């Protein structure tokens, strides 16, 4: 089982940089043992102009049977079936085994980490990948549909069953060559890691629920917008229906959040934050953050959840106040969390400070054990990003399951939109807002939620409270009303 990655270079950017990127020295042949055999990394060519790294996986067919998902099956079955466990295409065909080897031998490269030369991983370079035998269910056409949208030029030639007998037709294998000019090595490796097993469509291991997280992590930045994302998800998760559905929903949220991020105009930040001078009003986003901090401080909360934390502005503000001893930011968008981590300089933070903050990826449309037991939760400008039919799921996850003592929810007041001069009549403030509520609609929702889950609720305006249309942002503060209905069981009965 074999795969090569090549790059070309120039005097300023020698091709041998590939060695740094892969964390494998071009002058050495190295071997790594994996659960299914030995992975060898060697460089058939390495000079300033061209450099090729080869990954060769020697599969141990016996280990494959012992540890694979076929374990236990086939014993005492038909002799042919038992034999097929040992005699099959696994040693030769690029499949999930190769993908796993790729992920473990080149794990830093896949994450885009290069301590020795930190400037290298982010730079796209010409790349060529060749896989001589790729089992491709769906044929050359599917191979193109999978790789071309990602910026690859694809050459996919069917391998004949037997070159001496052309009449026998083609095998299900493809000789694949991919060429790209503007991808980084990390991107290339992530594409291969997901798409090789997708093309083979037969994983060698049991697909567990944490594969959804893995898929979203490795697919970050390219999967959510891929036209074949559904097929990729289904096959990657071995057609396990419930996992596929979960992944599909999460990808959809990521896709929308990404579209949201790229909005050019953000009304809330219409006034530059650095414009401190008296004449210029404080941006609404800043006023909202101040209002939320005020509510949290007054509640005496120390351990706080920022649900739908986006790019981490509130988390950053919370960190500045030592009263908040534990701050957890949660968002469905990996991209938002990456930006948040960068904003907070998580990697350079001192240990004590770092121990106060956690960023978690997760969807608020699912109950999540990790969110239980906090003093307070904030949902700042988040609910309007969910489709209305999904809102009860969020409501249960937050008020029914996580059940913090205080919950602070903000959302736009649609009545105020007539006051935004730059907003055309009838438009919502953001491309991704699924709804924007009047004060009456928001109060109605909040009162029902409070009643259903045993909270008291109070409403506060954020921004100038216009006598006719109210404030631009509306805020509801929920407090668990009495200690006796504090336990979920009693709350449900209430």
Q: How far is the CB of 311 from ligand SAH (least distance, A)?
A: 7
Binding status of residue 332 toward ligand SAH by CB under 6 A: yes
CB atoms near residue 195 (< 10 Å): 25
Give helix 229-236 / helix 210-218 axis angle, nearest 10°.
140
Task: Please pick, from the candidates 188, 382, 407, 408, the single residue that binds ligand SAH as defined by CB under 6 A.
Answer: 382
Q: Which is nearer to ligand SAH, 133 or 376 (CB)?
A: 376
Q: Which is nearer to ligand SAH, 238 or 316 (CB)?
A: 316
Binding status of residue 385 toward ligand SAH by CB under 6 A: yes
Q: How far is the CB of 328 from ligand SAH (least distance, A)?
A: 12
Q: Are 91 and 135 in contact (CB under 8 A)?
A: no
CA distances (Å), origin 141, targets 96, 196, 224: 20, 15, 21
Over the window 30 to 69, marking each residue x when it contacts ligand SAH by CB under 6 A and - when it does not, the resulting string is: ----------------------------------------
The footprint of ligand SAH on residues 255-284 (CB under 6 A) is: 257
Binding status of residue 178 toward ligand SAH by CB under 6 A: no
Q: Which is nearer to ligand SAH, 22 or 386 (CB)?
A: 386
Q: How far is the CB of 398 from ligand SAH (least distance, A)?
A: 10
Q: Which is nearer to ligand SAH, 34 or 473 (CB)?
A: 473
Binding status of residue 472 toward ligand SAH by CB under 6 A: no
Size of the site for ligand SAH (CB under 6 A): 18
Binding status of residue 336 toward ligand SAH by CB under 6 A: yes
Q: How far is the CB of 200 from ligand SAH (least distance, A)?
A: 32
Task: Please pick, from the candidates 9, 26, 121, 310, the single residue that binds ligand SAH as defined by CB under 6 A.
Answer: 310
Nearest in space to 17 (alpha carbons), one of 185, 190, 179, 130 = 185
Task: Please pick, from the candidates 381, 395, 415, 436, the single residue that binds ligand SAH as defined by CB under 6 A.
Answer: 381
Q: Which is nearer to ligand SAH, 121 or 308 (CB)?
A: 308
CA distance 434 to 271: 25
- Tokens representing 385? 């990003």
Binding status of residue 377 toward ligand SAH by CB under 6 A: no
Near ligand SAH by CB under 6 A, which window of 16-24, 105-113, 330-338, 462-470? Answer: 330-338
Binding status of residue 361 toward ligand SAH by CB under 6 A: no
Cβ neighbours for 16, distance < 8 A, ≥ 6 positions apart: 9, 26, 46, 47, 48, 51
CA distances (Å), origin 146, targets 180, 199, 201: 14, 9, 13
Q: Are 470 and 419 in contact (CB under 8 A)?
A: no
Q: Which residue has the tokens 């005097």?
A: 11
Q: Which is nearer to ligand SAH, 94 or 379 (CB)?
A: 379
Binding status of residue 436 toward ligand SAH by CB under 6 A: no
Give helix 96-105 / helix 185-200 axis angle, nearest 10°.
160
Which parts of this chain interact with ligand SAH (CB under 6 A)?
253, 257, 308-310, 313, 331-333, 336, 363-365, 380-382, 385-386
């Amino acid at each position: 089982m074999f795969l090569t990655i090549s790059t070309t270079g120039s005097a300023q950017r020698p091709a041998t940089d590939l060695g740094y990127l892969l964390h494998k020295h071009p002058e050495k042949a190295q071997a790594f043992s994996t659960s299914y055999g030995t992975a060898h990394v060697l460089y058939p060519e390495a000079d300033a102009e061209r450099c090729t790294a080869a990954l060769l996986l020697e599969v141990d067919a016996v280990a494959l049977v012992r540890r694979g998902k076929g374990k236990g099956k086939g014993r005492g079955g038909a002799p042919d079936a038992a034999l097929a466990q040992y005699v099959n295409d696994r040693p030769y065909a690029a499949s999930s085994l190769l993908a796993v080897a790729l992920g473990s031998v080149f794990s830093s490269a896949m994450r885009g980490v290069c301590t020795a030369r930190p400037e290298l991983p982010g730079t796209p370079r010409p790349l060529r990948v060749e896989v001589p035998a790729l089992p491709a269910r769906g044929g050359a056409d599917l191979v193109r549909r999978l790789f071309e949208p990602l910026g690859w030029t694809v050459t996919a030639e069917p391998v004949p069953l037997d070159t001496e007998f052309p009449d026998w037709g083609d095998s299900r294998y493809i000789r694949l060559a991919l060429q790209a000019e503007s991808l980084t090595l990390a991107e290339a490796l992530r594409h291969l890691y997901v798409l090789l097993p997708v093309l083979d469509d037969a994983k060698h291991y049991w697909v567990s629920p944490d594969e959804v997280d893995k898929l979203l992590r490795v697919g970050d930045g390219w999967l959510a917008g891929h036209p074949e994302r559904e097929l990729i998800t289904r096959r990657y998760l071995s057609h396990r229906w419930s996992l596929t559905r979960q992944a599909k929903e999460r990808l959809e949220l990521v896709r929308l959040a990404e579209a949201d991020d790229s909005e050019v105009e953000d009304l809330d930040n219409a006034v530059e934050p650095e414009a401190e001078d008296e004449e210029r009003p404080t941006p609404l986003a800043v006023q909202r953050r101040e209002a939320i901090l005020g509510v949290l401080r007054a509640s005496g909360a120390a351990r706080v959840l920022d649900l739908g934390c986006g790019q981490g502005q509130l988390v950053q503000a919370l960190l500045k106040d030592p009263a908040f001893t534990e701050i957890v930011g949660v968002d469905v968008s990996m991209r938002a969390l990456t930006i948040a981590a960068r904003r907070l300089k998580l990697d350079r933070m001192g240990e004590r400070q770092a121990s106060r903050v956690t960023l978690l990826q997760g969807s608020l449309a699912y109950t999540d054990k990790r969110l239980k037991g906090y003093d307070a939760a904030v949902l700042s400008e988040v609910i309007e990003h969910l489709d209305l039919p999904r809102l009860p799921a969020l409501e249960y996850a937050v008020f029914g399951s996580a059940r913090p003592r205080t919950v602070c929810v903000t959302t736009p007041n649609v009545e105020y939109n007539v006051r935004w001069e730059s907003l055309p009549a009838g438009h919502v403030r953001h491309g991704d807002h699924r709804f924007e509520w009047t004060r009456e609609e928001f109060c109605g929702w909040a009162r029902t939620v409070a009643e259903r889950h045993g909270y008291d609720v109070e409403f506060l305006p954020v921004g100038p409270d216009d006598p006719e249309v109210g404030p631009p942002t509306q805020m509801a503060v929920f407090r668990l009303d009495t200690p006796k209905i504090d336990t979920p069981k009693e709350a449900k009965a209430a």
